[in-house]
Structure 1
Amino acid sequence: MDKPSHLSVVVDLSPSQWHLCGQSSNSHPLPLSAFLSQLLAFLNAHIACNDENTLSVYGALPGKSILLYSSATAVPEEFTGPADPNTYRPFEVLDSTMMNSISDRVEALTDLEQEPPIGLVGALTKSLCYINRMSNASSTSTAAGGVQGPVVLPDPRILVVSVSPDESSSYIPIMNSIFSAQKLKVTIDVCKLYGPESVFLQQAAHLTGGSYIYLERPDALLQYLTMAFLPPPAVRQLLSVPTQDKVDFRAACFCHKNIVDIGFVCSVCLSIFCQPVPVCSTCRTKFPIKTLQRLNASKPAAPAPRTPAPTPPATSLPRSQSIGTPRSSMGNGLVAPSPSRNGTSLPPR
């Protein structure tokens, strides 16, 4: 690891999900305290790999996102005194700053009947802005110093540690973040600890060249982090990093924010709808009546529910007669539109 590397970590701090993840009823429970201790060990390992490595940690809380630690900020005053000879100063600053920030933010959370959606999009956007600002600062300092040749920037990447399920309403902001990461050449890695598979984070890791790993043993988190996410993208080309077996390319419709298997795409702005609409709600494009009729006719017909036949008394039927299962009504035989790669169907030209 000769080149310096920048790592931005987005930590999911949903209280309800961490309560479920740490329950003893799980086969391999992982409480929040054990998670933080293993995460701090991984962050310290990243700092120890190279003196020039930089780090930023963002916390995704219910309804908001905050910066927990940044290596670019000044050292707090309580760490300016004599150093402990048995403690490495960068490790002490990182551990104390993160734990104090998390404890203050968690204690400030009020008891609500319904927990707001997790601020994952805000934390992801802030980490991208941090990387962009750091890259521009490096370019400016290099140009001011009169150094000729290409600008050598830290190898930026983002690691998302998630325990919450997907929010359908955050599909568009997450896709915008993915496109921004592609433009900045930022790799997004995802470590899924608990809950169902994340469709949106799978796409983020796949489109940016990162790794998506769903942990079968959350209690062995430190081993996964060290072996899969500690090496920077430049070194991973020489290693056998776990990859995704399959990627779910389903999208969320723009009208109801639901994840759909088959959708209808506007031919002008590429907005996705779960059913044909006369006017696109995004670009206000009006579609011909004949096109709408053809799209409505191509929708797959839902099969009629199977109605079980009432069972008569045993004395009302002879022994040689049996009750057959009624045949369910079939659909109208119309062909459904073929889904494209991302799970949506394109409208006819």
Structure 2
Amino acid sequence: MDDARGSHLSVLIDLSPTQWHNSAQGPPRNTYPLPLNSFLSQLLAFLNSHIASKHENTLAVFGAFPGKSVMLYSTIDPTNHDQAIDANSYPPFRLVDSTIVTRITEELEALGEPEEEAPSSLVSALIKALCYVNRVTLPSVSTTNNPADGHDPAILPDPRILVLSVSPDLSTSYIPIMNAIFSAQKLKVTIDVCQIYGPDTIFLQQAAHLTGGSYIFLERRDALLQYLIMSFLSPPSIRKILSVPTQDKVDFRAACFCHKNIVDIGFVCSVCLSIFCQPVPVCSTCRTKFPMKTLQRLNASRPLLSSSTSNASRTSPSTPQARTPTALGADTGASTTNGARSSTAPLGGLPHSGSIGNGTPRAANINGSRPGPEAR
């Protein structure tokens, strides 16, 4: 039976002026330059295609600007302003196009020309999109009490979020984006990512992988509309019978909680699973104190761990390595120090409850290689 509730799509647009200026540069810097105006024209065609696919489909568009994020458009709460009558355009399409372009222009003009551009608030826009999805997908009281359409109110339509990114990873956003991923998993929200410009983003790769979405690195930016329609137009329920591109390589590296640096090998607190780039006597998150013998043993193993990391980096290709959550915390053996058992825990993925110990830091290799004997 056809579900008449439609599909909800939230689109997050990374609108960093610096990154879009770099994206518009021609050869030799960019083989396929993509200015912002050309990007918007192709994006609006994709958004109109989503609206035209089904009358019940809903749409929300969020803009991630430097230092702030705003909602640009919503079909549930449309902006009320007079539209000029045009016999050659479909009114819903014209409303989407004019509202989004007008809001983006107003926000970019309000930024001015600051001396130093703030980072793009992509995580803030992602959290707002999750809050919006939570509001529009939860059944209302009237629907719960009187399900006249014959659908089970507990079964919600498949909401999804599409992230269009042009900015590199920001190490300080690791904890917020992981919290957003856990929230998306609880809400059963699929996160799709299209990296339009710049290097691969580690955190967005993990977001797409952990929520069952697709991550695509745009190699031909002049074919953006084709990528969007072929990969992201179909809802998750239909993708099971379609050949949608999936990730063959996922980078599961994490950012340390002390310096916010992306690390290959980290030391994990066995109580709260906080990640540190070096052994610490007291966990800064849960204030757990660790035995001195354990710290001495881990410090003695650090040079060998560093050398194995450098060897792995020389032999690995430039593209991110394919990893699975089970390979994130390689088995480093088990040792007993003052009655505390040392073990490893996965990094960059979902914490495993069975890995919680009683206050002993652990060396975990995020790349999946085994540390040396000193780490055991």
**Structure 1 length normalisation: TM-score?**
0.85
User: What are the equivalent positions in structure 2 for 1:51-66 lying under 5 Å apart?
Assistant: 51-66=55-70
Asked if residue 214 in structure 1 is aligned to residue 217 in structure 2, the reply is yes
1:295 paired with 2:298, answer: yes
Are residues 187 and 115 of structure 1, via their aligned partners in 2, closer, same or farther at CA, if it must alter by over 3 Å?
Answer: same
Report the Cα distance in structure 2 between the residues aligned to 1:189 and 1:50, rounded to whole angstroms.
Answer: 20
Match for 1:192: what amino acid?
Q
1:36 equivalent in structure 2:
40
Displacement of 1:112 after TM fit?
1.9
Query: Counterpart in 2 of 1:266?
Result: 269
Deviations 1:192-237 (A, max 9, x none): 0111110000000000000000011011000000000000000000
The answer for the alignment partner of 1:145 in structure 2 is: 146
Corresponding residue for 2:102? 100
The answer (yes or no) to whether the contact 1:58–1:66 under 8 Å persists in 2 is: yes
Contact 1:132 1:184 in 2 (8 A): yes
For the residue of structure 2 that corresponds to 1:345, the secondary structure is strand
Give the deviation of 1:73 after TM superposition: 1.0
Residue identity in the other structure for 1:14:
S
Q: Residues 235, 166 of structure 1: CA spacing in aligned structure 2 closer, same or farther, 3 A cutoff?
A: same
C-alpha contact 1:280 1:286 (8 A) present in aligned 2 = yes
1:1-349 matched pairs, under 5 angstroms: 2-3=2-3, 4-25=6-27, 26-79=30-83, 83-136=85-138, 138-147=139-148, 150-151=152-153, 152-301=155-304, 342=347, 345-346=363-364
CA contact (8 A) 1:190 1:205 kept: yes
Q: How far apart in 1 are the matches of 2:264 and 2:253?
A: 6
Q: Which residue identity does 2:187 align to in structure 1?
A: L
Structure 1 segments of 4+ aligned residues over 2 angstroms from their partners:
83-86, 138-141, 144-149, 300-303, 336-349
Q: Is the 8 A contact 2:231 2:245 kept in 1?
A: yes
Q: What is the TM-score normalised by the length of structure 2?
A: 0.79
What SS does structure 1 have at the residue aligned with 2:12? strand
Whole-angstrom distance in 1 between the partners of 2:302 and 2:81: 65
Matched residues, percent identical? 65
2 CA distance for matches of 1:149 and 1:217? 42
Please tell me whether the aligned partners of residues 199 and 248 of structure 1 are also in contact (alpha carbons under 8 angstroms): yes
Q: Distance in 2 between matches of 1:74 and 1:163?
A: 27
Tell me the CA shift for residue 175 of structure 1.
0.1
Q: Which amino acid aligns with 1:89?
A: P
Q: Which amino acid aligns with 1:72?
A: I
Q: How many angstroms apart in 2 are the aligned matches of 1:145 and 1:291?
A: 61
Deviation readout 1:12-42 (Å, 9 max, x if unpaired): 0000000001101210000000000000000
In the alignment, structure 2 segments of 5+ residues that lack a partner are 308-330, 334-343, 349-361, 366-374
The answer as to whether partners of 2:168 and 2:200 remain within 8 angstroms in 1 is: yes
CA distance in 2, matches of 1:49, 1:282: 48
Query: Quick check: which has more Rg, 1 or 2?
Result: 1
Deviates more, 1:67-76 or 1:289-298: 67-76
Contact 1:8-1:55 at 8 Å conserved across structures: yes
Three-state SS of the structure 2 residue aligned to 1:68 is: strand
- Residues 246 and 146 (structure 1 numbering): CA distance in 2 closer, same or farther, change over 3 Å? closer
SS of the residue aligned with 2:208?
helix
Per-residue Cα deviation, 1:283-318 (whole angstroms, up to 9, x for no partner): 000001111111111112467xxxxxxxxxxxxxxx
Q: In the alignment, residue 278 of structure 1 is paired with which amino acid?
A: P
Aligned-partner Cα distance in 2 for 1:249–1:149:
39
